[in-house]
Structures are given as C-alpha cells and as structure tokens.
Amino acid sequence: MAEAEDNVSIPELSSLLQLDPYLQPFEKDFKRRYGLFQKQLSLLEEAEGGFDQFTRSYWSFGAHRQPDNSLVFKEWAPAAEALFLTGEFNGWDKFAHPYQKKEFGKWELHIPPKEDNTPAVPHNSKLKVVVHTKEGERLYRISPWATYVNKVSTAVVYDWVLWDPPQPYVHKHPRPRKPRSLRIYESHVGIASPEGKVASYSNFTHNVLPRIKDLGYNCIQLMAIMEHAYYASFGYQVTSFFAASSRFGTPDELKELIDVAHSMGIVVLLDVVHSHASKNTEDGLNKFDGSDSCFFHSGPRGEHALWDSRLFNYSSWEVLRFLLSNLRWWMEEYRFDGFRFDGVTSMLYHHHGMGAGFSGDYSEYFGLQVDEDSLVYLMLANHILHSLYEDCITIAEDVSGMPTLCRPIKEGGCGFDYRLAMAIPDKWIQILKEFKDEDWNMGNIVHTLTNRRYGESCIAYAESHDQALVGDKTLAFWLMDKEMYTSMSTLMPMNPIIDRGIQLHKMIRLLTHGLGGEGYLNFMGNEFGHPEWLDFPRVGNNESYHYARRQFNLLDTDHLRYRQLYLFDRDMNRTEDKYGWLAAPPAYVTAKHEGDKVIIFERGNVIFIFNFHPVNSYSSYRVAVEAAGKYKIKLDSDEVQYGGHGRLDHNTEFFTESIPFNGRANSMQVYIPCRTAVVLANEEIDYCY
C-alpha cells in the first residue's frame, strides 16, 4: 500500500504543505485519499462513460414516461426475489405488473400506453413497489427515486405519487452569479408564517422573499426540503431523497420559489442530508429490498446510535450513483445553486464525532478513525459539482475542525467552499448564560471569532436554528426573556433589561458579521429578535404549532422595537454590500482592552469599533488605522431608528494623524458611547470591490 501511495501525485500538494507545514507528517494520508478519489473517477469513466452520465441516473431510475407515452420503471434491489408494480392504475393488483430481473441487482418494467395512447399510469396517481424477498415475505415500498410522495392527513405512511404534470413549470430567470460576500438567510418554509399551521412554498414566495431581499441577504439556505415523514425531525430524518416535501405544496411551487428568488438576485442552497437516513421502511430507504444492507452498511456500522438512523455505505457503486445523482437532480430539476452538507462530522469519522473532544491535535484528523469511503464521497461530490457548475456553493457542517476540508481537491483537500464556524454561537450562549457584563473577556471573544484555519473560508453566525430549538432559546430571549412580552413598545421608555438587550443584540451580530468569517448566516426571524424558541408539533406538546412559526406580524406593528432590530440588520447587510468586508482578508485587530471593554479592528479598509462597557463612554478614544485620510460613520448601532440613544453626530469627520498606534501607521480620536458599535469608512478610498 505504501508503494501505491508513493506513486500518487497530487498536483498542488506542495502549496498546501507550504500553507500549513504542520500537515507535512500526514503527506501519505493525503496521497492515499487522493489516490482513492482518482481511482473512483477512473472507474466512473470506464464503467459509466464519466460522471456526467452517471450523475444523471435519475433519467433512467424510478418512473419515466417515454415519447410514445409508454412508461419505464427501474429499481436497484439486489436482495429481492421478485418485484411488482401496483397502484391505482391496475386496481392495486399485486401481481399484474412484474419487473424483469437485469444484471447487478437491477429490475425493469415497461408498460405500453393505453389504447387511446395516453399513459397507463396518469399524473398524480398512487403507486407502490411490491418486493418479494428470498425469505418469502411480501413488502410494500416506495421507489427510492420517487420525485413526489404525499399522504392524506389521517394516514401514517406516505404514498408514492407519479408526478408527471401536462405542463411542467418552466424557469424564467437565469441563476445569479456566485456572490463574493455570502450573506445567508437560513429558512424553514413550514414555519415561515405567524399562523399556527404548516406554511407553504407559495407563502414563502409571496410574503417572505420580499423581506429577505429588503434585508440585504443574497443567499437563502432552505431546510427540510427533502421529504421527511416526521415533521418534528426538522427535515433531518429524510425518507424520500428525490422528493420535495409535499406538506408545503407541489414541486412546481418550489420551482417557482427558487425562480422568483433568482429574479431578485438571490441564490438558493439546499440543506442536503447525505450523512444518514430515516429508519422508516414502508416510506423510506431502509430495507428497501428486504435486506439489512442495500443502501446502508449492515450491522452496527449501518446504525447511528445517537440519531437512531441508518448510515450509507459510501463504498457501494449504486449508493454513489444514488447520492451523486441526488445532488445533480436538485441542481438541474429545481435549479438550486449549491448545498449545505449536514452532519459532515458524522460522515468523516467512524466514531461519528461521538465522545470525541477534538482538541485540535492533527493526529485526530488522520489514521484509522477517519472513514475514507465517506471522505472520498465528499471529494467526488465537490469535484463533480464544481466541474459541472462554475458558481456552485458548497458548505460543510463540521464541528471537528478537519484540516483541508475547504481547500481545493488539486491540493489534496476536500473541496468545500465554506465551513460553518460552529464555535461562535456556542461562545455567545456561554457568555450570556455564565458571565456578568463587566466580566466579558474581550480577548477570549476575539480569539473565538478569529480562530479559524487560514485559507479556509468560514460562515460566521451568532445563532442558527440549533440555538433556537426547544431546550434553548434565541439570543434575544436570553437577553430580555419575559420582558419581551410586556416591554417592547416604543410608546414607553426602555427599561434597563430591554435597553441592554436591544444594544447587545445589535453589537453581537455586527461583531460576528465583521470579524467571524468570510460569510454570514442568520436564522429567519432572529434578525428582529424573535422571542422564545422553536418547537414542532409533537405528542409531548399536544401537537401544538405555537412555537413552530415565525411572528413576522411583530414587525408590522410600527410601535414595537422588533422593527428597530430589523432595520439595523438590514443596514448592516447593506453596509457590507457596499464595503465588502466579508470578501476581504481576515481583520487586523488593533484593540481588545479588558478594562475599557473595547474591541477595535480593521477589515477591508473599514474600521469597526465596539464599546461593550455597560456605563463608560470614551470621549477621545485613540483608534489605530492603516490608511490615512478622512473617516465618517457609516453604521452606528446607537442611532435612534435602531433603538439606540442617538449620541453620535453623523456629520462628524474624523481626520487621521500620523501618530503610529497599535501596529498601524496612523491613528485618530473617536467618541464611543457605552454599549455602542460603529463602522467608519475612509472617504478618500474607492470601495468598489
């Protein structure tokens, strides 16, 4: 094996090792991984004519109407003894339409058109695959390639429904180009309404997209789109991988949502779950052909003990076909612009991250604990997506800090564009739970926000859906708690709790936005300080929708302070859009003063100043800057329209002096009120980035 590794040549490995010399001892690991990746690509070329054809397998598997209106059904069920198709079209006859057995565990069925030349199975009719096992069992299954499934409200199990509309949706708008600065609005269609019900794709298109556009987000990350039988799983127990969830509407309504987002210049990412699958059998992938394996590892390796779900066998040719074609399907059929890959830590390691502390020691990321089948799958996925779609965006949800996850494959990396900066929200929650304001550690906050691998882009966020789930609560609720029920009106003076909460909510978000990464993410509703937490209808809460909604109505009441937080979030994004700090190199921090509770940094020729002190304001605080010139305020959290106290004069011009300070060539003196964040820009610099 060592000889084989020595023969592998990674085109730009030397660049990677130059970037991070501490990776040098693991050169053989990189070569082995790259060799396995190359081998899979070669096999695809030999056996399938390349990845382009292979990843379009959804053209042949599942159900397809031919030009002559005949229908072709195709499945992979290697352990099955026989396969039949039954449904409304044949009066649920279990034996009338047998599949023919082909090689490599494939099964095919051809059904000619009816006498009037219409398809034998019409659009919107129910179907089931009948699987006969070698043990003599008869099982009813949904095709793994089903593109639409639904269920009547009283049913427990989903039905496979043939989706073949006479006039399918036609996309009208081109995909926007990949944004240089990624500002993500993480969204869940079902909760995107103040009403206590499952909201629809159409509601999102008409009522939520305009808000997202107004707020200045240029990317939407859609959760819970892949069909999941259990609503309260938040979409993470997927049952039908090619089907858009029918509880929100039809496939065409989702296509319209994405099309309208594109018309607004907004890209749309799918939260894709390829790390595991639901254990459901009748309406899931589990035991599709009656065996314990099929799409998954058999035995303990095929089970996730914590998630109670099944784990894919990424070394299987047909599993690769299924998952890689699944990515291609969402890109082609729905015109998504990329993916946020869920549960990447679970995929990367045989221990799935359970019981692993991840101290940062490099030996934790190499060796026998790494699941190289999964790693190679992720390399293949990124290589194929970026080869076929120049502007495709891929984001990894990894808590382990695996090095090179976001470096190019030609260097030996995994090829993701971004990773989620998952330590940042945990830090904010910890601070709010455990520390008094006067004990906040500026150095520790800066360390958490800047502690990322050089050359690997991160998505920073103060809170996502994870922090809002039942058992926790939103940052706004941590800050203001029950006062939010009675004291959010602008018609009364702010009490100290609301005043503190409003100011810190803005400062936490701007500090995260400016310092924490190369992209920024916000979970829907949190931009305006959404109260309480998230909880889906389930037995434990009497199937209540009370916490499974977003109260956008709070924004439309002008005298409530939610509007002030909304306006700040909007102007924060718009200011970034103008000055482009997310696309700039990491910030240069010039001050993290513990006594003053001040953090100051420079990024993309923009100066960020934060005074977290509860009571101390500073009249002539010296601020280090590199570029000389005249600076003016471009964003001020203390503006009255944002719920601030209006203590800064925006006509003030700050002129630099050639007094070197804190490692910068120039400096200037600035007034910074307590609990205030300010962004200053140089009037003499062209910021077209």
CA distance 655 to 661: 15
DSSP run (H or E) holding 514 = helix 496-515
Cα–Cα distance measured from residue 60 to residue 484, given in angstroms and rounded to the nearest whole number:
55
Residue 408: count of CB within 10 angstroms of its CB: 18
Question: 333 with 145: CB under 8 angstroms?
Answer: no
Q: Is 3 a catalytic residue?
A: no
Q: Is 546 exposed, middle or buried (0-12, 13-18, 19+ CB in 10 A)?
A: exposed
Q: Both tokens of residue 618?
A: 């500073």
Residue with tokens 């910074």: 672
Which H helix or E strand runs over 601?
A: strand 598-603
CA 104 to each of CA 259, 292, 628: distance values in angstroms, whole numbers, following the listed order = 39, 18, 70
Q: Which of 520, 685, 460 is nearest to 179 (CA)?
A: 520
End-to-end CA distance of the chain: 48
Q: Contact at 8 Å (CB) between 222 and 270?
A: yes
The Cα–Cα gap between 286 and 22 comes to 42
Catalytic pick from 227, 342, 602, 638?
342
The phi and psi torsions of 219 (rounded to 5 degrees) equal: -150, 140
Q: What is the H or E stretch that residue 623 is in?
A: strand 618-625
Contacts of 686 (CB under 8 A, 6+ apart): none
Q: How far apart are CA 270 and CA 370, in angstroms?
A: 26
Beta strands in 305-373 (DSSP E): 309-310, 338-341
Cα distances from 255 to residues 36, 173, 261, 519, 607, in angstroms, run 37, 11, 10, 26, 41
Closest CA to 256 of 169, 165, 163: 169
Q: Which one of 318, 397, 411, 639 is the catalytic residue? A: 397
Which are the contacts of 412, defined by CB distance < 8 A and separation ≥ 6?
A: 10, 12, 13, 16, 30, 31, 33, 34, 404
Which strand (E) or helix (H) includes residue 419?
strand 418-420
Instruction: Say which DSSP state 142 is in.
Output: -
Catalytic site includes residue 116: no
Give Cα separations from 351 to 356, 370, 423, 562 (angstroms).
8, 8, 20, 43
Q: 459: which residues sit within 8 A by CB, 6+ positions away?
A: 182, 184, 395, 418, 419, 420, 421, 517, 518, 519, 520, 521
- φ/ψ bin of 2: left (φ > 0), alpha (ψ from -120 to 50), beta (otherwise): alpha
Residue 451's φ and ψ, nearest 5 degrees, are -80, 80
SS3 (DSSP) at 140: strand
Question: Which residues are catalytically annotated?
Answer: 342, 397
